Structure 1
Amino acid sequence: MTMRNVILAMLAGLSLTACGTLSDDRQTFDGVAFRAKLSAEKEDNRNFTVEVRDPVQSLAGAREAGRYEAVQYCIESFGNSRMTWSQGPDVEDAELQIVDDVLILKGRCAGW
């Protein structure tokens, strides 16, 4: 076998070991992998909105999925997890804003 074939075989083997790892990395909450999306305001990126799809699968899990997105954003953007919620996950079920099967949470990162 030539050196070129050995390198190609090694690269092929390495590429196969990466197969399937993307789906394994999904975070689950209450056993459900929620689709959550955070959007920051352009005028002041400390303000954010989190949308969590299909919260009826598990309301408790959807709350935590939204909180997780917010904490991750605040840490990555401002170096800490401190935030205040204007429409947070810790309210009674009846107070949660769910529109078109999307849980909507709003908050503000504390900043540096």
Structure 2
Amino acid sequence: MILSVALVLSTVALAGCDSAKKKRPTYDGVPFKIKTKPVDKKVSRANFIVQVLDANQSLDGARLAAAHAGVSYCLSEAGYGTSDITWDVNPRDPEAQLRLVDGTAVFQGTCAS
């Protein structure tokens, strides 16, 4: 009986992990892990950094993920209410040289006020 309960609980826990991964949006078919944070929140939340982990899986997808994360950050987290961003390297420009650090694409932007 205890073994059956443990088996059911572990199956449910694993299913929960799988469904959370499936809910992550994909960019060029890749569900990137993305980190967005202010450069220095004590100074201004307008200046931010986006990190797209394992960007080598799809550089085009990493660009799309960064652009989306930047817009989400400016609209929601920073509270600027606009999707206008000045980028150091524009992720929407396919000709712009990406900055990769150990496989992570790094972008820096400033929310327009």
Query: Shared topology, TM-score over 0.5?
Result: yes
Aligned partner letter, 1:74: C
Question: What is the SS of the residue equivalent to 2:110?
Answer: strand
Is 1:49 matched up with 2:49?
A: yes
Match of 2:95 in 1: 92
Work out the number of aligned pairs and report it: 95
- Residue deviations 1:47-98 (CA, integer Å, cap 9, x gap): 00101111111000001111111010111121121111122212526x2110
TM-score by length of 2: 0.74
The alignment partner of 1:39 has SS state of strand
Shift of 1:39: 1.1
Equivalent of residue 37 in structure 1, options 35, 54, 57? 35
SS in 1 for 2:29: coil
Segments ≥4 residues shifted beyond 6 Å:
none
SS at match of 2:24: coil
- SS in structure 2 of the partner of residue 78 of structure 1: coil
Which residue identity does 1:31 align to in structure 2? G
Partners in 2 of 1:22 and 1:105 — Cα distance? 26
| Percent identical residues | 39
Name the aligned partner's letter for residue 34 of structure 1.
Answer: F
CA distance in 2, matches of 1:107, 1:82: 10
Residue segments in structure 2 that go unaligned for 5+ positions in a row: 1-15
Matching of residues 72-111 of structure 1 within 5 Å: 72-76=72-76, 77-89=79-91, 90=93, 92=95, 95-111=97-113
